[in-house]
Amino acid sequence: MEQVLQTANGTVFWLLASLIIAVVVIQSLLYLRMTLAFSNRYDILSAEEKKVVYKTAAINSIGPAVAIFFVAVSLIAMVGGPVTLMRVGVIGSAIFEFIAADQGAKAVGAELGKDSYTLQAFAASVWVMTLGGMGWLVTTFFMTRSLDRAQDKLSISNPQLIRAAGTATPVAIFFILGANAAVDKSWLSNISVAWDDLAAIVTSALCMVLLHAAGKHRAWLREWAVGLSLVAGLATGYAAGQALA
């Protein structure tokens, strides 16, 4: 394991990871410049509205960043800093990368963090992490234009369907992710509930609803809703885990 971490934290890996992250940063800056230019050209946002957007985006990034940080720290101890930075910085799902690294190790008969985790297992982990994340990138590349055209057509023929889909889709996604996190099941048998995870999910959901309602009178609460909800969920989940231990 020590040899794996020495290789994984080597100069070559740091260089490759830095190049990939640089591409992401440059893309983000280019998109930001294009967005601001478009907004200024058509007077979409005023200077005050831009300030609100910046502040809301900065605040809402705190909660997800905290959640990713805790998982990323564990991932760094397994596959090193460069690979973690490269994967989480591009895909943004530390939990997925952790699972992918574990599956790659198991494919060659090893286990993350154990003496059986050799350089071969490390290579398998990186391959699974990389190939597993390609699905999102390939789908986005080939389907974004088609989905955009479909949305334009539906917005004319059936705008209510667009609004319904926009509301239902994130609810369904978060419900599935929450259920998978809180319930351990195998072919609908041997179902067990992780009560600490369930407590975190319920607390976060309730906080989002309450802060959204309170935001009608105090707009700043909506700006902080995501960050505060995630922090509340993490705290509740930790407290529930300690109580059940």
73 and 184 in a single domain? The answer is no
Indicate the residue among 93, 123, 147 that finishes a domain: 147
Residue 7 lies in a domain: yes
112 and 212 in a single domain? The answer is no
Residue 244 lies in a domain: yes
198 and 227 in a single domain? The answer is yes
174 and 58 in a single domain? The answer is no
Query: Is 107 in contact with 87 (CB distance < 8 Å)?
Result: no
How far apart CA 173 and CA 135 sit, in angstroms, is 17
Range of the domain at 35: 1-147
Give percent of the chain above pLDDT 90. 23
Question: Sign of the CA dihedral 148, 154, 160, 165?
Answer: negative
134 and 172 in a single domain? The answer is no
Strands 183-186 and 189-193: antiparallel
Residue 152 lies in a domain: no
Q: Inform me whether the pLDDT recorded for 168 exceeds 80.
A: yes
Q: How many domains does the chain have?
A: 2
Residue 190 lies in a domain: yes
Indicate the residue among 93, 128, 147 that finishes a domain: 147
For 2-6, 109-113, 150-154, which range has the lowest pLDDT when averaged over its residues?
Answer: 150-154
232 and 132 in a single domain? The answer is no
The set of residues, in sequence order, having a beta carbon less than 8 Å from that of 21 and lying 6+ positions away, is: 85, 86, 89, 90
134 and 198 in a single domain? The answer is no
Q: What is the pLDDT of residue 92?
A: 67
- The string of pLDDT tens digits covering residues 190-220 is 677 788 888 988 998 899 889 888 888 887 7
Q: Inform me whether the pLDDT recorded for 125 exceeds 90.
A: yes
How far apart CA 109 and CA 58 sit, in angstroms, is 42
Q: Compute CA distances 230 → 56, 98, 150, whole Å.
A: 15, 20, 34
17 and 91 in a single domain? The answer is yes
66 and 170 in a single domain? The answer is no
Give percent of the chain above pLDDT 70. 95
Indicate the residue among 89, 121, 147 that finishes a domain: 147
Structure pTM? 0.63
- The string of pLDDT tens digits covering residues 23-82 is 989 998 999 899 889 988 888 888 888 888 888 888 777 767 776 777 788 789 889 999
Query: Is 210 in contact with 232 (CB distance < 8 Å)?
Result: no
As a whole number, mean pLDDT of residues 122-140 equals 87
How far apart CA 169 and CA 146 sit, in angstroms, is 18
